[in-house]
Amino acid sequence: MQKEKILLIEGHDFYRTRFRQGLISQNYEVVCYRSAENFDQLVQREAPYLVMADVTQLGLDPGDIEGKTCPVLEHCQAFYPWLPIVLMAERSEPIDPLERRWAVEQGAVDFIVKRVDRMELMLQRVHDLLRPGTKLNRNALLAAYAQSTSF
> How far, in Å, CA of 146 to CA of 142, rounded?
6
- Domains of the chain, first to last: 5-149 (3.40.50.2300)
Q: Virtual CA dihedral for 144, 134, 114, 9, nearest 10 degrees?
A: 80
Tell me the pTM: 0.87
Amino acid at site 50: L
**Of the candidate ranges 45-59, 66-80, 95-109, the one whose mean pLDDT is the lowest:** 66-80
Residue 111 and residue 95 in contact, taking contact as beta carbons nearer than 8 Å: yes
Residue 65 CB partners (closer than 8 Å, separation 6+): 55, 99, 102
pLDDT tens-place string over residues 105-130: 888 999 888 887 778 888 889 989 99
